[in-house]
Amino acid sequence: MPNMSKNFWKFPTLLLILAFLVPPVYGFKDEDLEKLHRTNECIRCDLSGADLRSANLSRANLRSSNLSGANLRGATLDEVNLSLADLSEAELVGANLRRANLHKAKLTTSDLSAADLTASDFREVDLNGANLRGSDSRATDFWKANLKEAILRNADLREANLWGVDLTLADMRGANLSYTDLGSANLMGADTRAARFESATFCNTKMPTQEMNQSGC
């Protein structure tokens, strides 16, 4: 008689392996995309995997929408409302997100390299594993954002609010963090080689080295 208990445990293990190997399937709704182009508003819409390269979505309202896996390379998204939106694995290379609202949005493993995020609202955003290499994030509010394992190489973060941010294991080489607020931030394991911290504020900050003081408390 076959060992049923052994076979039973093999099946869920196989499913778990396949979940990691098979890429996610995106399928946006045509009616949602049409509505966005017609009204510049699409709340709680499904735009996952949509091709929006170089699209002009300035001041669009996309609150709580699903844009996971969407291609927004070079898109104009200034003052857009993307609060609570899902942009995980989205491509936002070179996109214009100046003064955009992404409060509590999800951008895990998204590509924001060379994007303009100046003066945007990134409070409590999940940017775990995201690529922000060479991005312009001057005066951006990252309050309590998750930037764990994020790539911030050569990013411009001058005057950004990084209070309570999780930068664990982040790649911050060559980043400019002058005049930033790093109070209660966690930088343990982060690579800060050649990063600039002129006039940055540290208070209850977990630092990768003991060389950085805790001024500002």
In a domain, 38, yes or no: no
Which residue range is the domain that position 101 belongs to?
44-217
Domain count, the chain: 1
Q: Are 117 and 100 in contact (CB under 8 A)?
A: yes
Please check the confidence at residue 152 and state whether its pLDDT lies above 70. Answer: yes
State the chain's mean pLDDT as an integer. Answer: 90
What span, in angstroms and rounded, lies between the C-alpha atoms of 160 and 125? 14
Please check the confidence at residue 185 and state whether its pLDDT lies above 90. Answer: yes
102: CATH: 2.160.20.80
Q: Over range 170-199, report the average pLDDT.
A: 97
What pLDDT does residue 155 have?
Answer: 98
Please check the confidence at residue 17 and state whether its pLDDT lies above 60. Answer: no
Torsion on CA atoms 160, 200, 164, 97, rounded to nearest 10: 10
Please check the confidence at residue 5 and state whether its pLDDT lies above 60. Answer: no
Helix (H, G, I), strand (E, B) or coil at 151: strand
In a domain, 63, yes or no: yes
What pLDDT does residue 213 have?
Answer: 57
In a domain, 25, yes or no: no
Task: Give 81's strand partners.
Answer: 61, 101
Query: In this structure, what token pair is assigned to residue 19?
Result: 């979940």
What pLDDT does residue 4 have?
Answer: 47
What pLDDT does residue 27 have?
Answer: 74
Q: Are 87 and 68 in contact (CB under 8 A)?
A: yes
What span, in angstroms and rounded, lies between the C-alpha atoms of 168 and 13? 30
Stretch among 7-16, 38-47, 73-82 having the lowest mean pLDDT? 7-16
Please check the confidence at residue 129 and state whether its pLDDT lies above 70. Answer: yes
In a domain, 4, yes or no: no
H helices of 22-160, where?
30-39
For 51-96, the pLDDT digits (tens) are: 999 999 999 999 999 999 999 999 999 999 999 999 999 999 999 9
Give the pTM.
Answer: 0.87
In a domain, 179, yes or no: yes
In a domain, 123, yes or no: yes
In a domain, 61, yes or no: yes
Helix (H, G, I), strand (E, B) or coil at 191: strand
What span, in angstroms and rounded, lies between the C-alpha atoms of 178 and 133? 17
What pLDDT does residue 15 have?
Answer: 46
